[in-house]
């Protein structure tokens, strides 16, 4: 169905990219019909480029030079432009919002079919079917911009699916979704592969969500593409792997279980031996000083109340993970804490009680010394042309001695070149840069909105270490996140929001392990034990042997 024949790609004619290696090389494989192939690799390794090769967006749309041959359903992308392949390949790009062409859900679903000239009656029927397939019937006439992130993602998938392609290509389809919505989307993909025999190619960072759906795996590192691998075999050596694999490798299981179900069967004996040694959930009695007090907070956005009476105290040394489904009010809460939104009623006090301010009324300069926030898209707080200039600007902004921000950056992510443009950095590096700018002024409270979106496991591990260090140094930390594994590793306390209200607030082990939606993989495998991460299991089993 998809044939890559010795494909390599680079952005200039000499066959080398600016930093000396090919964007893509050695791609040589054949994908069969009716298979779900997962593309695995660190950020910036060339996953998106590989996906865009499939329908000819690379090189027809991107420029650059492609060597070798890509043949899709018998059509060579050399002679077929993306629009000529539109009836065979459907591509869902990373950011669904920027790919919307029309205004409402129904029109968006029909757009591709109109361009392909599908008969009006058939089109009407297929739109209805797609609405049902992806659970969008309730929002069919709504404007696309008013939908939640999960709904937008499903519309983007439905929009390419409706025109009936045989191949579906998805770039990070679940990165913006909460665990339940992600599972919904992946389950529909699974159904498409098994019931309709579609060929699906997916790139995804959060392997724990997709690995058990995959039939084949392509590993990709710095542009070098591996041959097609069997998922279990690939995971034995892959540096990028989800917790279930890490657990399996640690315990020496072979073959490696890929899904929670398989791992749970293998772990029967482990569960029987572990209970006595499982540590009691750590006491969460707050010890530090209060750095942020939220009292009966009500915030409206666009006329609708998004937060309805939230109470929350955050102490020094707390790492609070705010979780909840898309649109539950997580980002709104964070934005209100730094004064970007004005509460309708209730109060927010920032800083220790003796010296607290109301962020909605305070000047930005007063807020930044008490609370620093890294927004969902870190690029929005980067303006300069180079890393060095960005660091100098931060020093000036916060009236710090020159070099402070750069020193923080070197500690978080050493080796970022001074002259690089912030836009050229990888996702992880950009986050590190934004984080160090914010941390330079040493705010008592650090807020992070979806910090792991687009981060690979290595970058995530560095982030976890850094957050632990910060918490130990007495900073209060609040994370709004969908990433249950991150919450399990670093959070001391988890707050679950639903419909703008706090529905759960307690120590991470208690809240996460007991929740079917937010439980991390290890907790699911070892339920009813209160163990959340591989590290904790290692500590337990290590102590025994």
Partner 1 sequence: MALTPHSRLPRLLHPAAWWVWGVGLAVAASRTTNPFLLLLVVAVAAWVVLERREAGTTNALAAFLVVGLVAIGLRVVMVSLLGGGVTGRVVLVRLPEVPLPDWTSGVRIGGPVTLEGLLFAVYQGMQLAAILACLGAVNALASPRRLLRYVPATLYEIGTAVVVALTFAPQLVEDAQRVRMARRLRGHSPRNPAEVGRIAIPVLVGALERSLDLAASMESRGYGRAVHRTARSIRLAGLLTLVGVGGVVVGLYGLLDGTSPLVLGLPTLLLGVTCAAAALLVGARRDPRTHYRRDHWALPEWLVAASGTVPALVMILAGARHWDGVVPRQVPAELPAVPLLLVAAIAVAATAAVLAPVPPLLARSRATARTPSEPSRELVRR
Show contacts with partner 1 in window 60-119 (CB under 8 A): 60-61, 81-87, 89-91, 93, 95, 98-103, 106-107, 110-119
Query: According to the binding rule CB under 8 A, does residue 454 interact with partner 1?
Result: no
Segment 307-346, which members bind partner 1 (CB under 8 A)? 326-327, 335, 338-340
- Contacting residue, 239, 279, 353, 364, with partner 1 by CB under 8 A: 364
Q: Near partner 1 by CB under 8 A, which window of 20-28, 158-166, 247-255, 475-483?
A: 158-166
Q: Which residue has the tokens 């930390």?
A: 477
Segment 183-212, which members bind partner 1 (CB under 8 A)? none
- Contacting residue, 398, 408, 446, 529, with partner 1 by CB under 8 A: 398
- Contacting residue, 278, 360, 381, 504, with partner 1 by CB under 8 A: 381
Segment 494-513, which members bind partner 1 (CB under 8 A)? 499
2 CA to centre of own chain: 27
Tell me the C-alpha distance between 115 and 163, whole Å.
9
Q: What contacts 528, CB < 8 A, 6 or more positions away?
A: 513
Cβ(190)–Cβ(224) under 8 Å?
A: no
Interhelix angle 457-472/427-439, rounded to 10 degrees, is 10
Tell me the C-alpha distance between 197 and 189, whole Å.
11
For residue 349, the cross-strand partners are: 293
Q: How many residues line the site for partner 1 (CB under 8 A)?
A: 82
Segment 125-144, which members bind partner 1 (CB under 8 A)? 127, 141-143
CB nearer partner 1, residue 80 or residue 213: 80
Q: Near partner 1 by CB under 8 A, which window of 31-39, 210-218, 299-307, 485-493?
A: 299-307
Q: Which residue has the tokens 């695995």?
A: 40
CB nearer partner 1, residue 141 or residue 545: 141
Query: According to the binding rule CB under 8 A, does residue 367 interact with partner 1?
Result: yes
The helix (run of H) or strand (run of E) holding residue 128 is helix 120-133
First to last CA, the chain: 51
Q: How far is the CB of 87 from partner 1 (least distance, A)?
A: 7
Q: Which residue has the tokens 């930093």?
A: 19
Q: What contacts 532, CB < 8 A, 6 or more positions away?
A: 488, 489, 508, 509, 512, 513, 520, 522, 523
Q: Near partner 1 by CB under 8 A, which window of 8-16, 281-289, 296-304, 526-534?
A: 296-304
- Contacting residue, 243, 375, 451, 454, with partner 1 by CB under 8 A: 375
- Contacting residue, 146, 254, 273, 402, with partner 1 by CB under 8 A: 146
Query: According to the binding rule CB under 8 A, does residue 55 interact with partner 1?
Result: yes
Q: Near partner 1 by CB under 8 A, which window of 172-180, 182-190, 205-213, 433-441?
A: 433-441
Specify the 3-state DSSP secondary structure of 507: strand
Q: How far is the CB of 22 from partner 1 (least distance, A)?
A: 22
Tell me the C-alpha distance between 294 and 292, whole Å.
7
- Contacting residue, 77, 130, 153, 163, with partner 1 by CB under 8 A: 163
For residue 66, the cross-strand partners are: 9
CB nearer partner 1, residue 87 or residue 262: 87
Tell me the C-alpha distance between 121 and 101, whole Å.
22
Q: How far is the CB of 304 from partner 1 (least distance, A)?
A: 6
- Contacting residue, 324, 372, 428, 451, with partner 1 by CB under 8 A: 372
Residues in contact with partner 1, shown as a per-residue x/- string from 13 to 52 under the rule CB under 8 A: ----------------------------------------
For residue 7, the cross-strand partners are: 27
CB nearer partner 1, residue 226 or residue 432: 432
Tell me the C-alpha distance between 31 and 4, whole Å.
9
Tell me the C-alpha distance between 398 and 418, whole Å.
20
Q: Near partner 1 by CB under 8 A, which window of 33-41, 65-73, 155-163, 179-187?
A: 155-163
Q: How far is the CB of 222 from partner 1 (least distance, A)?
A: 24
Query: According to the binding rule CB under 8 A, does residue 411 interact with partner 1?
Result: no
| Tokens of residue 191, six digits | 């159904």
Tell me the C-alpha distance between 4 and 379, whole Å.
34
Beta strands 89-92 and 493-498, pairing class: unpaired
Q: How far is the CB of 204 from partner 1 (least distance, A)?
A: 19
- Contacting residue, 124, 224, 250, 392, with partner 1 by CB under 8 A: 124
Tell me the C-alpha distance between 130 and 274, whole Å.
47
Beta strands 224-225 and 216-221, pairing class: antiparallel
CB nearer partner 1, residue 221 or residue 377: 377
Kindly compute the dihedral angle of the four CA atoms of residues 485, 443, 373, 243, in this order, to the nearest 10 degrees. -10
For residue 347, the cross-strand partners are: 295
Q: How far is the CB of 212 from partner 1 (least distance, A)?
A: 29
Q: How far is the CB of 276 from partner 1 (least distance, A)?
A: 47
CB nearer partner 1, residue 142 or residue 250: 142
Angle, CA 44 vertex, CA 41 and CA 45 arms, to 5°: 45
Segment 240-279, which members bind partner 1 (CB under 8 A)? none
Q: How far is the CB of 403 from partner 1 (least distance, A)?
A: 18
| Tokens of residue 332, six digits | 């709104």
CB nearer partner 1, residue 429 or residue 492: 429
Tell me the C-alpha distance between 105 and 93, whole Å.
17
Query: According to the binding rule CB under 8 A, does residue 380 interact with partner 1?
Result: yes
Cβ(317)–Cβ(287) under 8 Å?
A: yes
Q: How far is the CB of 262 from partner 1 (least distance, A)?
A: 37
Beta strands 445-449 and 371-374, pairing class: parallel
Tell me the C-alpha distance between 34 and 215, whole Å.
9
Q: How far is the CB of 69 from partner 1 (least distance, A)?
A: 20
């Amino acid at each position: 169905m998809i044939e890559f024949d010795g494909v390599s790609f680079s952005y200039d004619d000499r066959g080398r990219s600016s930093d000396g290696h090919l964007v893509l090389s050695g791609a040589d494989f054949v994908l069969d019909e009716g298979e779900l192939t997962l593309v695995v690799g660190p950020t910036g390794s060339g996953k998106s480029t590989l996906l865009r090769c499939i329908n000819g967006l690379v090189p027809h749309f991107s420029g650059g030079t492609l060597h070798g041959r890509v043949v899709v359903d018998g059509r060579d992308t050399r002679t077929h432009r993306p629009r000529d392949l539109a009836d065979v390949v459907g591509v869902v790009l990373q950011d669904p919002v920027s790919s919307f062409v029309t205004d409402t859900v129904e029109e968006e679903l029909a757009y591709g079919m109109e361009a392909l000239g599908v008969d009006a009656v058939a089109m009407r029927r297929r739109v209805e079917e797609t609405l049902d397939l992806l659970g969008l019937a309730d929002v069919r006439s709504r404007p696309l911009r008013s939908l939640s992130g999960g709904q937008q993602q499903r519309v983007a998938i439905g929009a390419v699916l409706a025109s009936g392609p045989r191949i579906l290509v998805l770039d990070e389809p679940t990165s913006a979704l909460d665990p339940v919505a992600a599972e919904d989307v992946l389950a529909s993909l699974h159904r498409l592969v098994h019931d309709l025999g579609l060929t699906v190619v997916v790139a995804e960072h959060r392997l724990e969500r997709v690995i058990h759906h995959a039939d084949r795996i392509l590993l990709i590192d710095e542009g070098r593409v591996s041959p097609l691998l069997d998922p279990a075999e690939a995971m034995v050596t892959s540096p990028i792997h989800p917790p279930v694999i890490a657990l399996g490798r640690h315990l020496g299981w072979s073959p490696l279980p890929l899904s929670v179900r398989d791992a749970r069967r293998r772990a029967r004996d482990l569960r029987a031996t572990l209970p006595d040694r499982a540590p009691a959930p750590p006491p969460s009695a707050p010890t530090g000083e209060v750095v942020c007090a939220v009292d009966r907070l009500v915030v409206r956005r666009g006329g609708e109340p998004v937060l309805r009476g939230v109470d929350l105290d955050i102490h020094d040394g707390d790492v609070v993970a705010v979780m909840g489904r898309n649109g539950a009010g997580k980002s709104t809460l964070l934005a209100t804490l730094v004064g970007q939104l004005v509460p309708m009623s209730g109060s927010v006090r920032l800083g220790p009680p003796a010296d607290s301010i109301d962020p909605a009324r305070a000047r930005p300069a007063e807020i930044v010394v008490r609370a620093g926030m890294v927004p969902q898209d870190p690029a929005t707080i980067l303006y300069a042309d180079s890393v060095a200039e960005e660091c100098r600007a931060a020093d000036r902004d916060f009236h710090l001695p020159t070099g402070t921000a750069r020193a923080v950056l070197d500690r978080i992510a050493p080796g970022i070149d001074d002259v690089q443009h912030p836009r050229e950095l990888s996702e992880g590096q950009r986050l590190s840069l934004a984080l160090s700018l914010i941390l330079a002024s040493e705010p008592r409270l650090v807020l992070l909105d979806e910090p792991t979106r687009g981060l690979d496991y290595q970058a995530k591990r560095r982030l976890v270490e850094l957050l632990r260090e910060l918490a130990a140094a007495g900073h209060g930390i609040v994370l709004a996140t969908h990433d249950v594994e991150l919450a399990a590793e670093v959070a001391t306390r988890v707050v679950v929001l639903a419909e703008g209200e706090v529905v759960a607030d307690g120590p991470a082990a208690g809240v996460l392990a007991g929740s079917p939606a937010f439980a991390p993989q290890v907790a699911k495998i070892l339920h009813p034990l209160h163990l959340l991460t591989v590290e904790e299991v290692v500590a337990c089993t290590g102590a025994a042997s």
